[in-house]
Structure 1
């Protein structure tokens, strides 16, 4: 969290009746309030189309806090004070009168004090409303002050490169780049932020963080859930757009970036964008040799039956949408040239986990016959926040016998402080005008350029190499093939989410 207080703030949430507001945004704002990170003077305007009694609306928000907040149930006194700052505004996003009423509320709040006020507008809506709301904010001069007014736009930011460019141009005509916060909640996770601290505050790793010492890198984000009620959206999106284009490529950037000149937003975003611009683009033939797509079929997870993707609600019965992607990518620069970055994500997998594995090259001089496992750095983002280093050690006894052991750092053991949710960190950054963890326009477009050759190849060959995998498994067997010759299979967590395989990444 950033130190200091923010200016008095007006926070407006469009899409206030949605799941994101109830599960994430209001619990995050409430936790910021109880931890004294919000300014003493603030107001939250919640805008949605549906008619709603304000007391009932606040009651539903309280239920969301009680269910989803990391702190558990809300304190009655703190909630009562916090809730007084929440106001519900029924309004159609497409109608001018909605913004006239909102402007009146914002103006009335700002007249109460003598300080300038920050205005934050959060688009917790369907993507089809982004341009509508942005244009209305511009026309009604609700977001016209470059240094104080900000919009927050959720993913997906476009559906392809052309639509992302179009949206960037649309917003750039109405707001400055410093006013636009394109949010990816993965970048707000504590363990993800710690990767940068781990890399650039510990010089012991910098000399070996390159192609000379690293054999390959795996970035794996497994989801135990299926598509659930998101079938309508997901069937037109798929895992490549939903996860690879944003979350996993952002993790790749943090792992692969060069050290910026300073811990400042633009220098850090420059370094990340440079990584994306150096990712090798594939020809159609190369796509099918380096990228594996899959779709889950019926199976079981935790002894409960799981329906096939094509049987999910609002999914076409003949859908070719991928729910799994494994890809081998290369960053073609001096630091990484020739080192494969393996990215994997999928739904209906055995456990929920996010893991980054840095596999070092094998020992050049084998003087011990049982020196079998190369050094390995494991960064676990979930379910446990942990960093561990695998190395060989002598087994106690009279003989020279080696055994791989792990040296662990876990947040739970090292710190007594509770870990803030990603949205808490990101919302506070928006209020304080810190864009470090948010994506810039050119970064968004560079990420789309990486995945567009893959999307185009799949579009031209919709049935080619769409592998099926049973729910509750780690994806199609073909995903292991792209690891060779660097590894035999993906590094995974066991079904209990804790025990790791120690020998599944030996050099093949």
Structure 2
């Protein structure tokens, strides 16, 4: 068991969907494997009226639904449920935090807080914690997105949090950073001599980052229509993936060194021109053979909110000069996929051209979901006597993380992030200057949209987005990895 100074974990939004699907199953997995101390109390809070017994029953039902069969152990489940307590709280009323503090008791030995709430509740929640004495030096606070909807609102939230907590106590969560394959990106780059010498404008033609979904609104109507694809996915997840892909080697693996290098990349992002971006919105179509309605039918009203974004980005520094980073994300696309594709430059001379051999550039595909793998596409000669010419084709060198590490326990991102929050390890969390650099770039994009009155182009559900999104790469003589 790993020792930790934290004696209690406080979960805001403990009866919400994130808690049911991710937080409670993740905490049970850490409990089952003995990774959290036996006396760690887990106290849930939300507006819902429950007592301890009712919250434990809520947790039992959530685990029955979302835990894999092979992880269910009735004895360990019973001992996990004994950890759980509950306190009803209306976070908009700072007076109610006194009861919460009494429920928690002495927190001088360490308290970790997981705060998942609507942006307008951040300030009263932080003020309530401060007034109740739950913002002292032995408290760590994890902040789940959304942290505002632009730079100004994000700054207000960060200022409110900073008034009560020092930066080393604040853990801003981007769950993509907890994914195993994202962390393998650093190992791939910095533990293999074959890649790092080519990981620059001299060896790489372009980079693609795709986060595509087949689902529509899925019960998030109000939030999504106010947010859109750019702020929902690009501002956080995709820019973090870009930063990890493009950053310089950090001096060490400590949180400060890694985050210093990421923020340099984010600050080096060139402002995007109108012709370098595409907005889209899905219409009726078919996803995996099933007919689905369009966004406005799903929403129930007329809206110009984008459900698809494609951007041609540039990092203006020596390593990446002239190398485009193509980003795209969208709902109701043809396939659920999160991946980074690095296409290398072609060889300088085709030795096989006179014999009919045609070359394609090497591609490195880092798939994050739904599968997890690293695939290097290389050129190879087809077997044969070659009297009619040499036939070359690309073949895949595959590393399936699922197969290669079949005996290792696969963990979802929130297991790692919750454990790091409890133990005070900040490496996989986002620093304030990163968040503000991300918002500055995204706000500039939204200003271009407003200034040019850029409309959301329609695309059929089940496709790969508007034709203009495809043209974004094709007019440069490149193509998406579809």
SS of 1:56's equivalent in the other structure is: helix
SS of 2:19's equivalent in the other structure is: helix
SS of 1:445's equivalent in the other structure is: helix
Shift of 1:107: 1.9
Q: Which residue of 2 aligns with 1:41?
A: 39
- Alpha-carbon contact 2:11-2:115 (below 8 Å) kept: yes
1:446 maps to which of 434, 437, 449: 437
1:67-216 maps to which residues of 2 (within 5 A)?
67-70=65-68, 74-107=72-105, 117-145=109-137, 148-216=138-206
Shift of 1:381: 0.6
1:263-342 maps to which residues of 2 (within 5 A)?
263-282=253-272, 286=273, 288-313=274-299, 317-342=301-326
C-alpha distance in structure 2 between counterparts of 1:41 and 1:389, whole Å: 46
Shift of 1:41: 1.3
Q: 1:362 aligned to 2:346? A: yes
1:30 maps to which of 28, 31, 44: 28
SS of 1:235's equivalent in the other structure is: helix
Q: 1:222 aligned to 2:212? A: yes
Q: Which residue of 2 aligns with 1:502?
A: none
Moved more, 270-279 or 121-130: 121-130
Count of matched residue positions in the alignment of Structure 1 and Structure 2: 475
Q: Which residue of 2 aligns with 1:458?
A: 449
Shift of 1:393: 0.8
C-alpha distance in structure 1 between counterparts of 2:59 and 2:395, whole Å: 47
C-alpha distance in structure 2 between counterparts of 1:73 and 1:58, whole Å: 18
1:344-355 maps to which residues of 2 (within 5 A)?
344-355=328-339
User: What TM-score comes out, normalization by structure 2 length?
Assistant: 0.95
Q: Which residue of 2 aligns with 1:421?
A: 412
Moved more, 362-371 or 438-447: 362-371
- Alpha-carbon contact 2:459-2:466 (below 8 Å) kept: yes
Moved more, 465-474 or 205-214: 465-474
- Alpha-carbon contact 2:94-2:125 (below 8 Å) kept: no
Structure 1 segments unaligned to the other structure (5+ residues): 111-115, 493-508
Q: Which residue of 2 aligns with 1:379?
A: 366
Moved more, 349-358 or 122-131: 122-131
Shift of 1:71: 5.6
C-alpha distance in structure 2 between counterparts of 1:30 and 1:173, whole Å: 33
Shift of 1:70: 4.5
C-alpha distance in structure 1 between counterparts of 2:347 and 2:27, whole Å: 50
Deviation string for 1:11-69 (max 9, x for gaps)?
11111111111111111101011011111211111111121254333222222222223
Q: Which residue of 1 aligns with 2:224?
A: 234
**Residues 308 and 367 of structure 1, relative CA distance in 2, 3 Å threshold:** same
Shift of 1:216: 0.2
- Alpha-carbon contact 1:67-1:73 (below 8 Å) kept: no
- Alpha-carbon contact 1:66-1:73 (below 8 Å) kept: no
C-alpha distance in structure 1 between counterparts of 2:385 and 2:168, whole Å: 65
C-alpha distance in structure 2 between counterparts of 1:22 and 1:465, whole Å: 37
Q: Which residue of 2 aligns with 1:411?
A: 401
C-alpha distance in structure 1 between counterparts of 2:402 and 2:392, whole Å: 30
Deviation string for 1:80-110 (max 9, x for gaps)?
11111101111221334532122222225x5
User: What TM-score comes out, normalization by structure 1 length?
Assistant: 0.90
Structure 2 segments unaligned to the other structure (5+ residues): none
1:393 maps to which of 344, 368, 380: 380
